[in-house]
Chain A
Amino acid sequence: MTTLYRILIILVVAAIIGGAIYMAVGGGSAAAQQSAQMPERDRARPEGGEGREGGDGLPFGILKSLVIMSVASGVYLAGNRLLSKKPKPVLV
């Protein structure tokens, strides 16, 4: 029963956030009409590209994702190290 309550809490929080995002974006009313007039080539799925059926060679997308995650991790660690570094004592 406790687990069910927890699931309910997570889903309610997710629904509230999702609802807020939906309202902020406009729910597809005004922007929908705008996009309906757009040519088909402009509506292509940004990350989808041409290979909609999949299986077109090496998984470069996975490599790209791993590289981005590694860079983010490296930047965080470097920043953390720089901030935690104590200044060297100055000899007078």
Chain B
Amino acid sequence: MSKTNRTKLLLDISTFVAFLVAMDPRTSGIAIHEWLTIALGATVLVHLLLNWNWIVEITKRLFAKGKGLNGARTNYILNWLLFVDGILIMLSGIMISEAVVPAFGLTLPMNFAWRSLHDLSANISLILMGLHITLHWNWIVSTFKRMVLRREAKPITVLSMESKEVKA
């Protein structure tokens, strides 16, 4: 398995776990919720950089004819929605921040619209994230299997060699 795929999978799993923790501020607390989401922004940036070639390729072929592209188009549109929703979550979160923005000595005007938007976009992100994972499920499972099987491959090879020797 390529090193990039392994890096992608590990980054994606850790991003997903962080996303789940960030989605539950009641358990983690507001400070962790806000700082973790800022960190998530950085991991999403790396996620996009690692998948840059795919993004460029699909952007170029978005309007090209071809049946095989339908799945990729759905995926592409969904990814854009997730990206826009992520920005909405971050922006509305900054506007109602109680930990990150005050830590920099800044105060922002209170606005109830941002609070409602933050809640709404967070709920939408759950649906979009569910769909995003579903569309990439085959890749996740196959990459995970390859990663795990590669580690277990060595003892299996040794055992088979020993059994051959016994048979001879």
Contact of A65 among B20, B33, B113, B116 (CB under 8 A): B20
Q: How far is the CB of A17 from chain B (nearest CB, A)?
A: 5
Main secondary structure of the interface of A (DSSP, over half): helix
Question: How many cross-chain pairs have Cβ atoms below 8 Å apart between A and B?
Answer: 142
Q: In whole angstroms, what is the CA distance A3 to B45 when docked?
A: 11
Q: In whole angstroms, what is the CA distance A36 to B27 when docked?
A: 28
Q: Chain B: which residue is nearest A2 at the CB level? A: B52
A92 within 8 Å of B (CB atoms) = no
B88 within 8 Å of A (CB atoms) = yes
Given the complex, which residues of B lie within 8 Å of A57, measured CB to CB? Answer: 27
- Contact across chains for A17 and B84 when beta carbons are under 8 A apart: yes
Q: In whole angstroms, what is the CA distance A33 to B79 when docked?
A: 36
- Contact across chains for A46 and B111 when beta carbons are under 8 A apart: no
Q: Chain B: which residue is nearest A22 at the CB level? A: B91
> Given A25-B114, A72-B126, do A65 and B27 touch, yes or no (CB 8 Å)?
no
Q: How far is the CB of B164 from chain A (nearest CB, A)?
A: 45
Q: In whole angstroms, what is the CA distance A54 to B99 when docked?
A: 13
Q: In whole angstroms, what is the CA distance A50 to B27 when docked?
A: 10
Q: Chain A: which residue is nearest B113 at the CB level? A: A31
Chain A's interface size range is 35 or more
- Contact across chains for B133 and A18 when beta carbons are under 8 A apart: no
- Contact across chains for A46 and B87 when beta carbons are under 8 A apart: no
- Contact across chains for B127 and A72 when beta carbons are under 8 A apart: yes
- Contact across chains for A53 and B130 when beta carbons are under 8 A apart: no
Given the complex, which residues of B lie within 8 Å of A53, measured CB to CB? Answer: 29-30
Given the complex, which residues of B lie within 8 Å of A49, measured CB to CB? Answer: 26
Given the complex, which residues of A lie within 8 Å of B52, measured CB to CB? Answer: 6
The interface bits of chain A over 43-65 (1 if a CB of B lies within 8 angstroms of the residue's CB, else 0) are 10111111111111111111011
Chain A: residues with CB nearer than 8 A to chain B? 3, 6-7, 10, 14, 17-18, 21-22, 25-26, 28-29, 31-32, 34-36, 38, 42-43, 45-62, 64-66, 68-73, 76-77
Chain B: residues with CB nearer than 8 A to chain A? 20-21, 23-33, 45, 48-49, 52, 83-84, 87-88, 90-91, 95-96, 98, 108-119, 122-123, 126-131, 133-134
List 16 additional A-B contacts (Cβ < 8 Å) besides A18-B87, A54-B25, A54-B27: A7-B49, A10-B45, A26-B111, A28-B108, A35-B112, A45-B115, A45-B118, A46-B119, A52-B29, A54-B32, A55-B27, A61-B27, A62-B21, A65-B24, A69-B129, A77-B134
